[in-house]
A and B are shown apart, each in its own frame.
Chain A
Amino acid sequence: GAGVSQSPSNKVTEKGKDVELRCDPISGHTALYWYRQSLGQGLEFLIYFQGNSAPDKSGLPSDRFSAERTGGSVSTLTIQRTQQEDSAVYLCASSFRDSSYEQYFGPGTRLTVT
């Protein structure tokens, strides 16, 4: 079956522009996570969606970052007024229910802010 997909795979943008990153989770998975991974670093949690519950936004680094999940499926991470420090790989993952289940990761979106 299809895994988690993300688009675009690579994004180069100028400082100050807005970007949208998309994630398509595995069908039937109710939990969806966004992470950020800077070069050579671990994963930084950004936001978590679980079913129809209010998302856990505790990891979003600033109010320039926002995310939504429409219809309990596709999610979009938006970064407004991008800064060079936003350059990283953005990973999306989904799991069957909640944090007690393993997560399946997408291939990531490599964002470069010039």
Chain B
Amino acid sequence: AQKITQTQPGMFVQEKEAVTLDCTYDTSDPSYGLFWYKQPSSGEMIFLIYQGSYDQQNATEGRYSLNFQKARKSANLVISASQLGDSAMYFCAMGEHNYGQNFVFGPGTRLSVLP
């Protein structure tokens, strides 16, 4: 069963606008972590932001914030004030603390920032 779903294979956003990348997940483990990674065309995987399942507040890291809706099992990434350098693949991932030892990545969303 697909544990991480990213329904947007590709997204476009105008420079300086905000954009939301969707991620839904599936787990029966009450304790888990949600992660977002960025992969530019250079191929490196860059960690962006983390949200723990017990965290009360949405995670924020600079221009990145995670809109965590636990009941909906949704962990959308919001990028504010998009920059041309934000053009990349974005992967949502989950690590289960009790039931799983491995990480599961979603299929990714390709974001293109337009000048």
Q: Which A residues are closer than 8 A to B by beta carbons?
A: 33, 35, 41-43, 45, 48, 50, 56, 58-59, 89, 91, 93, 98-105, 107-108
Contacts and interface: CB of A to CB of B under 8 A. Distances in A.
Interface string B25-52: 0000001110101000001111100101
Contact of A42 (B46, B95, B101, B107): B107
Given A33-B103, A99-B96, 5 more contacts: A91-B45, A99-B95, A100-B31, A103-B35, A108-B43
Contact of A99 (B44, B47, B100): B100
Contacts of A91: 45
B91 A56 contact: no
Residue from the set B33, B43, B102 with the largest chain A CB neighbour count within 10 Å = B102
A105 B103 contact: no
Contacts of B100: 99
Contact of B106 (A42, A45, A107, A108): A42
Contact residues of A: prevailing secondary structure: loop
Contacts of A50: 101
B26 to A, nearest CB: 16
Contacts of A43: 91, 105
A104 to B, nearest CB: 7
A61 B46 CA distance: 26
B45 A33 contact: no
Interface string B75-87: 0000000000000
A57 to B, nearest CB: 10
Nearest to A33: B103
Contacts of B46: 105
A21 to B, nearest CB: 15
Contacts of A45: 102-105
14 contacts: A43-B105, A91-B45, A93-B45, A99-B95, A99-B96, A99-B97, A100-B31, A100-B33, A100-B52, A100-B97, A103-B45, A103-B47, A105-B46, A108-B43
